[in-house]
Structure 1
């Protein structure tokens, strides 16, 4: 059972039917019962955390996303529009490979992360990502979680709200299992801008592709769309 924190700020606590309202570590409002059980006060919060739906719509890379950043750890990468998304090395963490700022709107951001750890399923990966994000945020709320097909790959899509140090952000992430780990590609902005610029944020995450990881010091390659086909071997006959 999740650890529950009783919030002194909740003024609507009551004794009717032996119920008390409380807030979890993740910012979810719950109802406590005298018998030690509890439930979410908002059914949609429970559903989002427990359910993964399936979106049958295929998602594809935008034709203007022609600049490929290959992962250095897993067989995946991301195509971006180089006129819109500018690479930055201002953010560094053990799992972060690439970070971007929208060149036309400095309130839009993108990141590409990866880890060479064994994760069984996309559902397991959801639990890992949600738990990690919750532990680092002052407030977390998962709004959507669904399976999607992106450029022929089965991925997990997450959309969630986070408050960190008094700032409200909204995120959307594609998480993809590779042969030796996983990667996630995330687009985010301040919450008040998210819906207004969702098209640009969608364009960024839809650049996720399966591609051979970069070898040695090679980190970036530029291709026209689509990527060039592999060289053909001439027959000796």
Structure 2
């Protein structure tokens, strides 16, 4: 059962970036992402920046839990993830080549992947990328909640979604961060019937996201 959940979940969560990939932003503009990691608005009119440092202070604020004392440090970006080693174990065999790190609960019923890329992706592109990828790989995909968060002083796009794959219902929560240092996806997931009992554990893990300066 664990292997089936891992494989089904992987086909849904991994966001891949292809050459000349386009997406529609939250404010209706088209963004073109080139294969060299650069991007541009597909319009002569560039919208105003989506947020500023002042806006960050208005987002819901989350901080690293005291029990999260083990650190995963990316070798590709300047991001890291603190986690509670009493609740999560690091897999020596990542579930996917796309994952820099993989964690799972001690009972192997809930999972986390950390995916790091050196390219910068505009925040406005995240929602469309999640939905487009989800609809391509599932029979049903629905965003349940999304918001911007201030996590340890860093801007995060948080998206929770429900998906059905091969008759199995999953719930995912994505923490998405991007800067000139690269893009990091921290994605947690489990089957829908186990999500409620793992929700607090997921939140605590996600809120261990940090930028190492």
TM-score (norm 2): 0.68
Which ranges of structure 1 fall in alignment gaps of 5 or more residues? 1-47, 213-237
Q: Distance in 2 between matches of 1:203 and 1:144?
A: 18
Q: Deviation per CA, 1:2-39, whole angstroms, max 9, x where unpaired? A: xxxxxxxxxxxxxxxxxxxxxxxxxxxxxxxxxxxxxx
Aligned residue number for residue 116 of structure 2: 114
Aligned residue number for residue 148 of structure 1: 149
Does residue 96 (structure 1) correspond to residue 99 (structure 2)? The answer is yes
Aligned residue number for residue 71 of structure 1: 74
Tell me, yes or no, if the aligned pair for 2:60 and 2:148 is still in contact at 8 Å: no
Q: Distance in 1 between matches of 2:77 and 2:127?
A: 18
SS of the residue corresponding to residue 59 of structure 2 reads strand
Tell me, yes or no, if the aligned pair for 1:170 and 1:188 is still in contact at 8 Å: yes
Q: Distance in 1 between matches of 2:165 and 2:99?
A: 19
Tell me, yes or no, if the aligned pair for 1:109 and 1:187 is still in contact at 8 Å: yes
Q: Distance in 1 between matches of 2:65 and 2:156?
A: 17
Across the aligned residues of Structure 1 and Structure 2, the Cα RMSD in angstroms comes to 2.2
Aligned residue number for residue 169 of structure 2: 168
Aligned residue number for residue 187 of structure 2: 186
Q: Distance in 1 between matches of 2:144 and 2:183?
A: 22
Q: CA deviation at 1:209?
A: 0.5
Q: CA deviation at 1:97?
A: 0.7
Aligned residue number for residue 218 of structure 1: none
Q: Which has the higher helix share?
A: 2
Q: Deviation per CA, 1:198-235, whole angstroms, max 9, x where unpaired? A: 111111111110016xxxxxxxxxxxxxxxxxxxxxxx
Q: Distance in 2 between matches of 1:153 and 1:132?
A: 25
Number of corresponding residues: 160
Q: Distance in 2 between matches of 1:91 and 1:182?
A: 19
Aligned residue number for residue 86 of structure 1: 89
Q: CA deviation at 1:106?
A: 2.2
Tell me, yes or no, if the aligned pair for 1:75 and 1:178 is still in contact at 8 Å: no
TM-score (norm 1): 0.62
Q: CA deviation at 1:70?
A: 0.7
Q: Deviation per CA, 1:167-213, whole angstroms, max 9, x where unpaired? A: 1110111100132321011111110111222111111111110016x
Tell me, yes or no, if the aligned pair for 1:108 and 1:187 is still in contact at 8 Å: yes
Aligned residue number for residue 61 of structure 1: 64
Aligned residue number for residue 211 of structure 1: 212
Q: Bigger shift: 79-88 or 137-146?
A: 137-146
SS of the residue corresponding to residue 184 of structure 1 reads strand
Aligned residue number for residue 31 of structure 2: none
1:95–1:169: structure 2 CA closer, same or farther, 3 Å change rule?
Answer: same
SS of the residue corresponding to residue 131 of structure 1 reads helix
1:89–1:132: structure 2 CA closer, same or farther, 3 Å change rule?
Answer: farther
